[in-house]
Amino acid sequence: MEWTRSETLALAMHNCTQCHGSGLRLNKRGAPSPCNCVLRTIFRICLDRFVRCITQERHLSRVSLEPHAGRARPSTWGRKDEEYIADFCLISRRVLDEFEHRLFRYHFLLGADWRLCSRRLGIDRGNFFHAVYRIEQKLGRVFRELEPYPLFPLDEYFQGPSRMAPARALTISGRAADPPRHLQFPRPLRKTA
């Protein structure tokens, strides 16, 4: 995956001391890579959507039909909110080590503040916040670079990338074809005298 300035510019913090608001900086090899402020922003956007999916009423969840390219299986049904909740939790569990996952559960999923987490995990305040920033950066990168279906951007996750060709009008010998009969407006009835 290649990061571009147009993608990171809107996500970067304007007062960041590393990227100065551009969202990109050069890594050790000289290639552009996203700044940590962009990765943390991606994580926070995904976390906000996770919280919204978790706290909504159960009867508000929708079943959606997702089109796919291919003849064998042109579309599938899915519950995107529940799928997003599961993906968010499972990806976090796979990527984080044991200590980071415990901190992630306590702080992000259960909502414990730094005092409770520090006491429970046996770390001081500074190490707590450094670990939180590392978790946000690590998960932000994974949520964006995940293949084949990343969690971020959210609109592509929930609506799916548009891989279908745009609709075009049919032409027959230089003029536009009539639409199929079931799509035509009904013709008014003629009065017979």
The per-residue pLDDT for range 49-92, each reduced to its tens digit, is: 999 988 888 766 677 777 766 677 677 777 888 888 999 999 99
Let me know if residue 69 belongs to a domain: yes
Lowest mean pLDDT, pick from 42-51, 67-76, 114-123, 133-142: 67-76
Residue 182 lies in a domain: no
Question: Is 67 a member of any domain?
Answer: yes
What is the domain extent for residue 41? Answer: 5-161
pLDDT score, position 29:
84
The dihedral over CA atoms of 36, 149, 96, 141, expressed in degrees to the nearest 10, equals -10
pLDDT digits (tens, 9 = 90+) for 90-101: 999 999 999 999
| Domain presence at residue 112 | yes
Q: Is residue 175 part of a domain?
A: no
* Residue 131 · residue 123 · CB < 8 Å: yes
> Which residues does residue 171 pair with via DSSP β-bridges, in sequence order?
176
The answer to whether residue 106 sits within a structural domain is: yes
> Among 23-27, 64-68, 98-102, 106-110, which stretch is predicted with the lowest mean pLDDT?
64-68
C-alpha neighbours within 13 Å on the C-beta side of residue 121: 25
What's the Rg (C-alpha) of the chain? 24
